[in-house]
Amino acid sequence: MAQRHVAHVGASLAVILAAGASAVPARAAASGTFTATGSTEEARFYNTATRLPSGQVLLAGGVDDTAEVYDPASGTFAGTGNMTAPRAEHTATLLTNGQVLVAGGDANGNPTSELYDPVTGAFTATGDMTTWRDNHTATLLPNGEVLVAGGSTSTALSSAELYNPTTGTWTPTGSLTAARYEHTATLLATGEVLVAGGIGADFKNLSSAELYNPTTGTWTPTGSLSAPRYLHDAVLLGNGKVLVTGQENPGSPVNEPLPSAELYDPATGAWSDGGLGGCSSGFWCEFEGRAVVLSSGKVLLEGGLSTLIAAYRQGATSVARLYDPATNSWSTTGSMITPRRQHTATVLNDGRVLVANGNDFKRGGTTTSAEIYTP
């Protein structure tokens, strides 16, 4: 991540002075803590968050067709152009030309996609996908195209397609070996895409994983996860391995999370233990948490569905923790101000993390709150 913390502080001070504020700027946040930032204009969940080339963050959809932009310099959110359709459980992918491709989740049931231009703040329609889908994945490939895989209509989909930014069109590519939605997709250092877990066509959680080869346009099975997963998260580590976190107990009738993480090694195609302690060892159990890689190479995992609070079974948690790839171990860090799940987490240009929106149905529903994590 770009190291521009000093420039950020200077820009913030300039904004305060220009506004004629007499107050002394707030002291820098202590490391390993969450601090409040401006509230979003809309309460959102199942929306997307995309860091733009300017360093600002675009939040889109989740509840309707609205979108807004977060400015790290001022710590505020401001509305931007509306999308062409209301969307939820869609994807948003930053293209190499600086525009954002928003695809799927069209509440009107159409297979639409659109482009956001940060320069004009406007959304414009682009080519339709080959099928309507939500809860799919979208991955920017090294050649600049976008791979969309799986998702749901009335059941899980095995289809995949490619978006070409030059022509604005979608074309089918090879079918997945297993239909799935609410899975993860991770671009590997090899240029292949690892797809793991999800819910299958029989509505059962999947432990299978597979690889997409952009050169041949084909999918091949790879090693299976140690346990079925969906609504989990996956991040690419600096050592080339993939860390997967979060799991629901497939035998539980109450969406009970399990303490579990594992590592995928592209060199062997195998999964190994991800060093995550269980609830009994002082960690909460979660899924629907959000994982991001920090500039240090460590992984921040925050929020999600929790069973730590017995009175709020299926409630969200405010707890956060850090994964260290060097030791394959986890440690706790500062807790969020607001418990949340189905939220977004975005690493900013200065290395801090913007955590925004989400919900906690047990404590009041969807929120407009946002906060900043300082590593």
Least reliable range by pLDDT among 208-212, 246-250, 254-258: 254-258
d(CA 339, CA 304): 8
CB atoms within 10 A of CB 34: 21
Lowest mean pLDDT among 77-81, 165-169, 255-259, 283-287: 283-287
pTM, two decimals, is 0.89
Question: Side chain identity at 118, as an amino acid letter?
Answer: P
- pLDDT exceeds cutoff 60 at 369: yes
Coil, helix or strand at residue 40: coil
**Per-residue pLDDT tens for 194-222?**
999 999 999 888 999 999 999 999 999 99
Q: Is the CB of residue 356 less than 8 Å from the CB of residue 303?
A: no
Q: How far apart are CA 365 and CA 43, in angstroms?
A: 9
What's the alpha-carbon Rg for the chain, to the nearest Å? Answer: 20
Residue of higher predicted confidence among 81 and 7: 81
What is the model's pLDDT at position 348? 98
Q: What are phi and psi of 195, to 5 degrees?
A: -110, 130
Decide: 120 and 165 in contact? Cβ < 8 Å: no
pLDDT at 290 over 80: yes
The predicted pLDDT at position 306 comes to: 66
- pLDDT tens-place string over residues 4-47: 322 332 333 233 223 333 333 345 688 999 999 999 999 999 99
